[in-house]
Amino acid sequence: MNLQKLDKFHKTKPGYLVFGLIELGMSYGFASWALDDGSLWWWVIAAFLLVGALQNFFKLALAIIKGRRR
């Protein structure tokens, strides 16, 4: 799968959901790793992934709301 197809999929409702869930899971994993290790870098990565997941879920909510208006 090339990057253009992946980007096109990411901008759909299922894409936002899939990417949001993946980022949320990765965020949880890095936060768990940070708790065990105590490394600030793992916390930073976990925070970035959490922000990315929240952005995807927000875009999904907007797409759903926008779709209901039509």
DSSP string spanning 8-42? HHHTSHHHHHHHHHHHHHHHHHHHHHHHHH--HHH
Give a yes or no: residue 53 inside a domain. yes
The predicted pLDDT at position 38 comes to 86
Query: How many domains would you assign to the chain?
Result: 1
Domain that holds residue 54: 21-65
Give a yes or no: residue 10 inside a domain. no
Give a yes or no: residue 36 inside a domain. yes
**Beta-carbon count within 10 A of 33 CB:** 15
The predicted pLDDT at position 68 comes to 76
Are the C-beta atoms of residues 42 and 31 closer than 8 Å to each other? yes
The predicted pLDDT at position 1 comes to 62
Using a 10 angstrom Cβ sphere, with 0-12 exposed, 13-18 middle and 19 or more buried, the burial of residue 65 is exposed
Low-confidence ranges of the chain (pLDDT < 70): 1, 69-70
Give a yes or no: residue 48 inside a domain. yes
Secondary structure letter of residue 12 according to DSSP: S
